[in-house]
Chain A
Amino acid sequence: MDYHLVFEVGERIPEIAFGVAALYALVVSS
């Protein structure tokens, strides 16, 4: 049977960087 990939956990890793950037901005601004 042919499968196609729709999700892999590694694709979430860049989101951590955006979250950390937002956290940093929050600490700096608050």
Chain B
Amino acid sequence: MIGLFSFDDLPRVWPLVLGVPLVLGVLEMAVDKAPADAPFLAIPGIVGIVEYWRSRNPDLADPKLPPGGIASMFGAFALVFVALNGVGHFGAVDLSQRLQAGAVDELEGRVTDVYEVGGGKNECWSLGDRRFCYSDWVSTPGFNRTHSLGGPIGPGAQVRLAVVGDTIVRVEVAAER
């Protein structure tokens, strides 16, 4: 609301506008164990450092840009990113209740027919007659950590899954011997 009714005030509080999504984003990343999100948070972080540096050196200020303007803009984008990523996991509550109640399908076996597009874009594999596909870049409450970004499921892995429809709600991997 500050931005709508008093836009000039927003750049003045840029450390807040940029700091809130950075803190929330780091917390999300820690909970999700998703280091792949780091570059998305590093960019606004670097912008914050540059903005701070500029504020300490008035000679570097661009007369066309209000102080804190760029940092506020990146802060707003970071807020959208963090908000969509977090709210996209809303279905986890219902899925977790179903898992606790045992209303899931349990599958066990060896992973076969692995198909992967690098960089976490897409990964598919089969377990028995079921096929699962997911991407690191889609916000979903289910399992979506691809092997190329440190995921635990690779070709030939022995796994035990709990699934609801096509959503994987629990993953267990056999210990290496």
Contact = CB atoms under 8 A, between A and B. Distances in A.
Interface of A: 1-23, 25-30
Where chain A touches its partner, the secondary structure class is helix
Contacts, number: 126
Contact of B21 (A4, A16, A22): A22
Nearest to A7: B171
B143 A7 contact: yes
A22 B84 CA distance: 9
B128 to A, nearest CB: 16
A10 B174 CA distance: 21
B148 interface: no
Contact of A26 (B10, B79, B88, B90): B79
Contacts of B93: 13, 16
A18 B88 CA distance: 11
A12 B171 contact: no
Contacts of A3: 159-160, 172-175
A19 B1 contact: no
Contact of B170 (A1, A7, A14, A20): A7
Contact of A6 (B80, B83, B89, B173): B173
